[in-house]
Structure 1
Amino acid sequence: MTGPAPRVVEALNRALHRLFDERPTLHLLGEDVLDPYGGAFKATRGLSTRHPGRVLTTPLSEGGIAGVAGGLALAGDEAVVEMMFGDFAALAFDPVLNLISKSVTMYGERVPMPVVVRCPVGGNRGYGPTHSQSVQKHFLGIPNLALYETTPFHDPYALLKEGLDRGPSMLFEDKVLYTRRLYPDGVVDGHFAFQLLGGPAGWAHVAPADGGPADVVLLCPGGMAHRAIEAAHLLRERGATVHLLVPARLHPLDLEPVLPLITGARLVAVAEESTEGGTWGADVAARIHRQAWAELRAPVLLLSSADSVVPTAPHLEAEVLLGAPRIAAELGRALPEIAPTPVRPTAVEEAGRLAGVPVVMPKLNNNDTAYLVLEWHVPDGGYVEEGEPLLDVETSKAVEEITAPASGYLRVLAQTGSELGVAEPLAELFAAPQDEPAPAELPAKEPESAAPADRTYRLDRVQQGTAAVVTRAHREVPAAFAAVEVRVDAALERLRAVSEETDAEVGLPELLVRAVAAARPAFPHLFGTLLDERTVELAERADIAVTVDAGNGLYTPVLRDCAARPLAELADDLMEFRLKAYRGEFTAGELSGGALTVSLNLEPGVLLVRPIVMWPQLCMVSIAGPVRRLVPSDDGPVAANVVTLGLAHDHRVVNGRDAVAFLRTVAEGLSDPQQLAKLTD
């Protein structure tokens, strides 16, 4: 595949165009599907212009739309129906159940019913209770009706073609997936790859690129795929290997191509966004139990969203909908309950019956000298497997989970509430239960007061971490500063268009990150780390940290591979970062690894921000404004929106000339029409 892979909505639009070219009797019906609007999510853009008379905009009557589609099919034509939101498919349930699906076999002979009902579904967009449901389960098991779901692995053309040919069918399209790109052929990321099993509308098998066997096989629909991959990464960090199985056709389900993978795992699970009860996942579990019970190590684990309507507020929506952290946590908890294959104890394990394996406080970041013990996941004297979660500790910016370095029985040495330095003992692990009592409970350290409480202000742990970073930056980095002013009217106009095209809230932060990342090939030494007085280690890609402050302290999470990802994806990640900042839920991994930091200061009235350089980085870019003021032009002074870009840079590596040239390159990305087109494509 050459060039960037298309976004799912773009691939869906191309598929519809191709089908209309191939099938002269095909019609499309829906609300607001005509150009220039092209549907609520732009999937039908260009169709009515290219095929006038075959794309029909309809009144707000989902039952009527589906009924007309059934009539077209009975008359020998083909029809694709677009529900503006999948929630409204409930209004079309009667014609789907009693006309379209039954007509296939109700008249004494099989009648072709080439109808596909397309339904945008799912939450994580803040659309609220009536526009965010996953309604797939309500159509499951209707005779003659096939159910499909878009995925980031399958070409939508294959799904629509098969859906029309075997018809009738429904295609569920996760709304978050619209702005995500299809994965290129066989590639997910540096750790996972995929292959299609059972044809172009079959299963996507996502597995570690190194071919590791599965501890967990996780089945999920396409809309859950990105969250499942994120969960697989989280479990990979804990030593567990996850394989994903993502079908394009939800029903009827063909398990034969993937049964050998399912039966070889320690744990099989199904994750879906719908609420519990009568779900696709329950149907999958029943089929697996029926076909492979003798080979399973445990019953199939079912993971669903909370029993609730979907809230509008993003932080509440995240609590209700099934996400990657909960998937990883549930799988991690289930794995220890499954007995591993018995092995003979090693000499080290035998010796461990007499001498415990020490567990010490690891070094988690470069800012803190001590960390707070928050919670033990295993009780004192309890047994834990190597790699399983042992305890949580709090750094100045994140809560980190520490896993067991070996299997054994736990003897706790550091109690909840105690603060320990790096390498101080936390616990010991023994191969056999120990008779010695654990140390007495240690009280949490009380802060020392230097003045009456009403005359002091104590920094919380997040601000203490910020203080450590700032102190080290000023002590170790000889920083210089440069700034340029940029007109951004063209950028703001283009961003409004991109937001309309992608249905994502895209703004100056995402555009600035892309512009900074795009400048890396011309200024590689700005994206590096100073190893010694003569050597800079260059970053392999543009991983950009951004400042996020939701009122709970300043965080700098990292946006990964910013040069290769669309603005809509960066916008989704930034929104997730803001929610995590609000809840204080970052992990150390999310806050580390940035090659350069961007300081976002877009509040009204901010004119200039002079950032620091966050060691071991070499540069930090800042943006302020925008502000409205008069600027010179060929026709005299005109009112314009301007921002000030700043660059703090390590003067040992970056000179003023390079700093200004870099800023001008980034500024062109925010102002030059050609550069804007490249960055927002």
Structure 2
Amino acid sequence: MTAVAGDPLASIAPRVGEHLNRALHRLFTREEQLFLLGEDLVDPYGGAFKITKGLSTGFPGRVLSTPLSEGGIVGAGGGLALCGNKVIVEIMFGDFIALAFDQLLNFASKSVSMYGREVGVPLVVRCPVGGNRGYGPTHSQSPQKHFIGIPNLALYELSPFHDVEAVLGAALNRGAPGIFFEDKVLYTRRMYRDGRVDDLFRFELLGSAAGWAHTFPQAEGGTSPAVVVLAPGGMTHRALEAARRLRTEHGCSVHLLTPAQLYPLDLDPVLPLLASADRVVVVEESTAGGTWGAEVARVVHERIWSSLRGPVVLLNSADSIIPTAGHLESRVLLGADRIAAGIVAAAGLGGSRAAGAPFEELPAEVSGAAGVPLVVPKLNNNDTTYLLTDWLVDEGEWVEPGTEVVSLETSKAVQDIEVTEAGYVHRVAAVGDEPEVGDVLAFLLPQPPAPGARASAPVPVTRTERPAPTAAGPVPGEDRPGRVHTLDRIQQGTAAVVTRSHREVPAGFTVVRAEVGPILDALAELGEETGTTFGLAEALVKAVAAQHAEFPHFFGSLLDDRTVALADAPHVGVTVDTDGSLYVPVVRQAHKRSLEDVADTLMEFRMKALTKDFLAQELDGGNIAVSLNPDPGVVLVHPIVLWPQLCMVSVGAVDEEYRPGADGTPRAVRYVHLGLAYDHRVVNGRDAVRFLTGVRSVLERRDEPRKWLGNAAITAEEPA
């Protein structure tokens, strides 16, 4: 099997959705009797997530858009397969596969063997599943568990490690029906390749084409893992984030196993790894009960019970419908925070732990003699301490798993922390404390705590001290006026950035006006053709990146008073402001990105801003920034320069005025104000004007967006 994957930070790596689209193209080229059925598949729409884009044009008559009837689509697909064809059916949203359950349970899966002989039914049903996209209760579910155990029906899942062409090819060649689940959050993420995930983790492929991806810390050598986490494709990035935290904060060695085939379950290639681990954990986005994880636990307990240090731990989303609002959706769906907390609770990681050290060697008060510790999880990439603002349950109160017990305030928001185990709450920290990540907040005890008892934390908890009076002013809270406004931690974080910028960067500021009506019209036309929404933000990222060749020092950083380190490529940060939080994630190598790729990246950033789910590397490494201010009536914005960068571009809202045309008739003209804040030690006013003029000239060329649609460095075909 060829591993088609890529470094998530490398621009040449295809997105998972692009890789899936290419795999379908190659399958259709190879299989002359392959058909694809589904809703709105035909170009120019190409399906709800553009996965089938170009297929109907390249293979007319074999890619068919159908009426809105999932039962009818799967029934027709099963009939075609029974007649000797190979068939792929796309369900627009996996939630709707429930409408085709009868066709899968009572027709397709049984037709393989109910006629007295083996009959081929090469049918694969593709299902986009999962949440974290704000699609709400009926478009965000993970229904995989409902299909486990049906005879002849195989289950597969998309992953960023596995070659989709090989997986789908194997599924079609089984001669029996299968379902291929595709977590929607993966479509815009990048494939992994060459055995590398990032600077910390590497991976290897085990077993068949539909086997396992084993991800492990590259510096670990032959050390047995403390924890092995089994995570289907859509959970990969959340499990990896939890693994990074546990390694950094607890010295805990975590390995990850990601299957391409969920069922029938083949654990043979990974049983030795599972047997060597201190703990085995399964994470799924589905609700608990009758899950794939339960099937894993059953087989693991049967096969290697004598090697296990404890029962398999199952972590699932809350038993709830999935809300549309991002802040509520994140509470329901299993994320990195709860994965890390669940592992900490199961493994007793209240304090630091050396990599590879057995759990039995931990101090007794941490490992469980004093109860299960509730520790401070890592809530974002900016803070190492949080403010404990409120206890949501009383001392000694009994709580069930999933109960929110304490509120912590970060520099971005207030977040309620829930427990993963049941027990009586015995507090360690108090309101007003500022515990660090990994500190113990409370213990969950099997018996009520003694009245007046106070548990001792194995890790010191930092207390908030009241400052002594000084000549600079009174003690906070004393002799204040009747009404005051206290800055929250979010604004305090913003204040720190602004203060540093004003203290260290002697900034200049220049503004020009750009006419954008023609390019906005062109972007709208391309959106109709491709099915992707394009706006001024995507065009501005491309226009700024295009200036790198002529103005490399605008993208540099100061080494000393006379030396500027020049960047090899433009990495453009873009402001994303939502729910009171401001982020500046980075579009890397923006000059090489296709317009669609930039649009996908910005949409991914907006979704992550809603869920506050950014990785540190997505927010680092920018060498210029763009401040987007599209609200109506915004005329001009003077941005700051984000040290150590040298420049930040701003754009106001699109405005309109009327000017006389060539024949004297008034015509509407749409325009924006483009601003540039710049470090005057490096950039002079004349060069700032030239830079902005270059950006403006790109934005005023109507034909420019069409040139950005394709890019060989991004969309070049991978080797099969």
Deviations 1:504-563, CA, capped at 9 Å, x for gaps: 7664445544554564565443344434322345567755554444463x6344436363
Question: What displacement does 1:266 show?
Answer: 2.9
**Residues in 2 aligned to 1:438 and 1:185: alpha-carbon distance in whole angstroms:** 43
Greater relative contact order (Cα < 8 A, sep 6+):
2
**Residues in 2 aligned to 1:12 and 1:160: alpha-carbon distance in whole angstroms:** 10
* Alignment CA distance shift 1:159-1:475 (3 Å): closer
* Alignment CA distance shift 1:100-1:542 (3 Å): same
Which of 469, 472, 480 is matched with 2:508 structurally? 480
**Residues in 2 aligned to 1:312 and 1:439: alpha-carbon distance in whole angstroms:** 37
Q: Is the 8 A contact 1:513 1:562 kept in 2?
A: no
* Alignment CA distance shift 1:341-1:457 (3 Å): closer
Which of 164, 173, 194 is matched with 1:165 structurally? 173
- Counterparts in 2 of 1:608-619, with a 5 A limit? 608-619=636-647
**Residues in 2 aligned to 1:15 and 1:440: alpha-carbon distance in whole angstroms:** 56
Quick one: percent identity of the two aligned structures?
55
Which of 184, 191, 198 is matched with 1:189 structurally? 198
Residue in structure 1 matched with residue 242 of structure 2 by the alignment: 231
Residue in structure 2 matched with residue 296 of structure 1 by the alignment: 308
Task: Determine if the alignment matches structure 1 residue 570 to structure 2 residue 609.
Answer: no
Q: Is the 8 A contact 1:558 1:593 kept in 2?
A: no
Q: Is the 8 A contact 2:583 2:609 kept in 1?
A: no
Secondary structure in 1 matching 2:89: strand
Residue in structure 2 matched with residue 79 of structure 1 by the alignment: 87
Question: What displacement does 1:604 show?
Answer: 0.8
- Counterparts in 2 of 1:425-574, with a 5 A limit? 446-453=476-483, 456-489=484-517, 491-493=519-521, 496=524, 507-513=535-541, 515-517=543-545, 519-520=547-548, 522-537=550-565, 544-550=572-578, 552=580, 555-559=582-586, 561=588, 563=590, 566-574=597-605
Residue in structure 1 matched with residue 105 of structure 2 by the alignment: 97
* Alignment CA distance shift 1:549-1:257 (3 Å): same
* Alignment CA distance shift 1:441-1:256 (3 Å): same
Question: What displacement does 1:159 show?
Answer: 1.8
Residue in structure 1 matched with residue 155 of structure 2 by the alignment: 147
**Residues in 1 aligned to 2:119 and 2:586: alpha-carbon distance in whole angstroms:** 52
* Alignment CA distance shift 1:158-1:662 (3 Å): same
Secondary structure in 2 matching 1:606: coil
Residue in structure 2 matched with residue 387 of structure 1 by the alignment: none
**Residues in 2 aligned to 1:649 and 1:164: alpha-carbon distance in whole angstroms:** 57
Taking only aligned residues, the RMSD between alpha carbons, in angstroms, comes to 4.4
Secondary structure in 1 matching 2:348: helix
* Alignment CA distance shift 1:35-1:152 (3 Å): same
Aligned residues: 624
**Residues in 2 aligned to 1:661 and 1:71: alpha-carbon distance in whole angstroms:** 65
**Residues in 2 aligned to 1:22 and 1:272: alpha-carbon distance in whole angstroms:** 34
Secondary structure in 1 matching 2:560: coil
Q: Is the 8 A contact 2:45 2:531 kept in 1?
A: no
Question: What displacement does 1:335 show?
Answer: 3.0
Q: Which amino acid aligns with 2:282?
A: V
Q: Is the 8 A contact 1:602 1:626 kept in 2?
A: yes
Which of 243, 258, 270 is matched with 1:246 structurally? 258
**Residues in 1 aligned to 2:589 and 2:478: alpha-carbon distance in whole angstroms:** 44
Task: Determine if the alignment matches structure 1 residue 204 to structure 2 residue 213.
Answer: yes
* Alignment CA distance shift 1:251-1:452 (3 Å): same
* Alignment CA distance shift 1:660-1:202 (3 Å): farther
Secondary structure in 1 matching 2:106: helix
Question: What displacement does 1:140 show?
Answer: 0.8
Which of 295, 303, 323 is matched with 1:283 structurally? 295
Task: Determine if the alignment matches structure 1 residue 14 to structure 2 residue 42.
Answer: no
Task: Determine if the alignment matches structure 1 residue 417 to structure 2 residue 444.
Answer: no
Question: What displacement does 1:283 show?
Answer: 0.9
Question: What displacement does 1:652 show?
Answer: 0.9
* Alignment CA distance shift 1:215-1:375 (3 Å): farther
TM-score by length of 1: 0.79
TM-score by length of 2: 0.75
**Structure 1, unpaired ranges of 5+:** 346-363, 377-390, 401-411, 428-432
Deviations 1:295-339, CA, capped at 9 Å, x for gaps: 222222211111112222222222211222222232233333599
Q: Is the 8 A contact 2:433 2:464 kept in 1?
A: no
Secondary structure in 1 matching 2:182: strand
Q: Is the 8 A contact 2:231 2:257 kept in 1?
A: yes
Q: Which amino acid aligns with 2:198?
A: D
**Residues in 1 aligned to 2:79 and 2:615: alpha-carbon distance in whole angstroms:** 55
Q: Which amino acid aligns with 2:142?
A: S
Which of 123, 128, 137 is matched with 1:120 structurally? 128
* Alignment CA distance shift 1:668-1:278 (3 Å): farther
Q: Which amino acid aligns with 1:474?
A: H
Question: What displacement does 1:631 show?
Answer: 6.5
Deviations 1:210-259, CA, capped at 9 Å, x for gaps: 34543332211112222223333333432333322111111112112122
**Residues in 2 aligned to 1:271 and 1:127: alpha-carbon distance in whole angstroms:** 22
Task: Determine if the alignment matches structure 1 residue 37 to structure 2 residue 64.
Answer: no
* Alignment CA distance shift 1:567-1:494 (3 Å): farther
Secondary structure in 2 matching 1:570: helix
**Residues in 2 aligned to 1:48 and 1:258: alpha-carbon distance in whole angstroms:** 40
Question: What displacement does 1:580 show?
Answer: 5.4
Which of 656, 659, 666 is matched with 1:628 structurally? 656
Question: What displacement does 1:139 show?
Answer: 0.8
Moved more, 247-256 or 565-574: 565-574
Deviations 1:459-505, CA, capped at 9 Å, x for gaps: 33433443444344334322111223333345545655776788776
Q: Is the 8 A contact 1:515 1:679 kept in 2?
A: no
Secondary structure in 1 matching 2:653: strand
Moved more, 511-520 or 162-171: 511-520
Task: Determine if the alignment matches structure 1 residue 341 to structure 2 residue 353.
Answer: no
Residue in structure 2 matched with residue 177 of structure 1 by the alignment: 186
Q: Which amino acid aligns with 1:478?
A: P
**Residues in 2 aligned to 1:80 and 1:173: alpha-carbon distance in whole angstroms:** 14
Residue in structure 2 matched with residue 359 of structure 1 by the alignment: none
Residue in structure 2 matched with residue 645 of structure 1 by the alignment: 674
* Alignment CA distance shift 1:462-1:502 (3 Å): farther
Q: Is the 8 A contact 1:42 1:501 kept in 2?
A: no
Moved more, 76-85 or 521-530: 521-530
Q: Which amino acid aligns with 1:84?
A: M
**Residues in 1 aligned to 2:325 and 2:317: alpha-carbon distance in whole angstroms:** 16
Secondary structure in 1 matching 2:172: helix
* Alignment CA distance shift 1:392-1:71 (3 Å): closer
**Residues in 1 aligned to 2:279 and 2:525: alpha-carbon distance in whole angstroms:** 46
**Residues in 1 aligned to 2:529 and 2:183: alpha-carbon distance in whole angstroms:** 16
